[in-house]
Amino acid sequence: MTVSILLITHDSVGQSLIVAAINILGFCPLTADLLPVPFDSDPEKIIKEAKEKIQHINKGDGVLILTDIYGSTPGNIACSLLKEDNIRVISGINLPMLIRVLNYPKLDLDDLALKAASGGKEGIMDCNTDYE
């Protein structure tokens, strides 16, 4: 079994990221699902939908939730799910983070969450000073 991932993001941000990652890698090595959060959404309805998605994709090793902005509606929805068993949430999703996660499909939930955070941070470069 492997960890599954759920992207909870504003509108189509998650879809764009997963499509780009799959195009780069050629496939998706983990079970992944998306939960777009429209700007006019009812958070309680989205939380219910998120719980249903988690139940559907969780194969027993947990679910890593990747969200875009900490403190935003998608981020708050994601963090509200931490009460569920075997859930980890990492905010600030970017393409390097997602690709890092997908490159380590055999890691357990805790280690995959660490890889996600490190991939996101290490994927940010100040090209004005780092490019030579």
Give residue 46's domain range: 4-122
Query: Rounded to two decimals, what is the model's pTM?
Result: 0.95
User: Does residue 65 belong to any structural domain of this protein?
Assistant: yes
Query: Is 4 exposed, middle or buried, given 0-12, 13-18 or 19+ CB atoms closer than 10 A?
Result: buried
User: Does residue 132 belong to any structural domain of this protein?
Assistant: no
User: Does residue 14 belong to any structural domain of this protein?
Assistant: yes
User: Does residue 106 belong to any structural domain of this protein?
Assistant: yes
User: Does residue 61 belong to any structural domain of this protein?
Assistant: yes
User: Does residue 107 belong to any structural domain of this protein?
Assistant: yes
Q: Are 89 and 81 in contact (CB under 8 A)?
A: yes
SS (H, E, C) 39-104: CCCCHHHHHHHHHHHHHHHCCCCCEEEEECCCCCHHHHHHHHHHHCCCEEEEECCCHHHHHHHHCC
Q: Are 109 and 79 in contact (CB under 8 A)?
A: no
The SS3 assignment for 16 reads helix
Walk along the chain (132 residues) and give the pLDDT tens digit of each residue: 799 999 999 999 999 999 999 999 999 999 999 999 999 999 999 999 999 999 999 999 999 999 999 999 999 999 999 999 999 999 999 999 999 999 999 999 999 999 999 999 999 988 887 655
CATH number of the domain encompassing residue 28: 3.40.50.510
User: Does residue 127 belong to any structural domain of this protein?
Assistant: no
Q: Tokens representing 59?
A: 């194969």
User: Does residue 55 belong to any structural domain of this protein?
Assistant: yes
Q: Say how many domains are in the chain.
A: 1
